[in-house]
Amino acid sequence: MPAFIVDSDVQILDLNDAASQFCGQSLNLVYKHRGGEVLGCLHSTDAAEGCGRGPECQGCVIRNSVGLSLQGQSISHRVVNLRLSHGMEVTELQVLLTASPLPEGVEKRALLIIESIPGISEFRTVVPICMKCKKVHSKEQDWVEVDAFFHEHAGVFFAHGLCPPCASRFSGAS
């Protein structure tokens, strides 16, 4: 997962390899640059002063999550939609954004994690399921098992077992 260490102005102070790949830049290129500039926020150039200074920046989920985390010294988790620009291409991502304060030192710092959650939007709509066999109608395929559908769209694995009522029915049926 892409992880960044940022200050209260969301200036990047460090990042892991996943974050470097996510933004396509190494630490020496992004050090002390604000998050919106590095990630490609559509509003990072709205003001001459740069990221965090434009009218849209007051509602920035990343900036506000980091701020709240540092003010209250608590962890913030939010599912958000990010619209990022890379050159002429705009990418929309649905992510779990986590901001967590780091132990206090000379300057307040936060750990910012951006975790992609592809496919989550499908679960906010109606999922067609067979009322008899319980297979799910997938957009990509025809009818698939429920566990295969959830694994494909959300990375969920199922561990199979028996609930107490079913266990007692099976044990009493012998």
Contact 74, 108 (CB under 8 A): no
- Stated pTM of the model: 0.65
What pLDDT score does 106 carry? Answer: 65
CA–chain centroid gap for 20, Å, is 16
Q: Residue 112 corresponds to which amino acid? A: L
What pLDDT score does 144 carry? Answer: 86
Distance from C-alpha of 50 to C-alpha of 165, rounded to nearest angstrom? 61
Q: What is the pLDDT of residues 70-98, one digit of tens each?
A: 887 788 888 888 888 877 788 888 888 89
Between 60 and 73, whose confidence is greater? 60
Q: Within 10 A of 148 (CB to CB), how many other CB atoms are there? A: 14
Between 120 and 137, whose confidence is greater? 137
What pLDDT score does 91 carry? Answer: 81
What pLDDT score does 5 carry? Answer: 94
First to last CA, the chain: 49
Domains of the chain: 3-117 (3.30.450.20), 122-159 (no CATH)
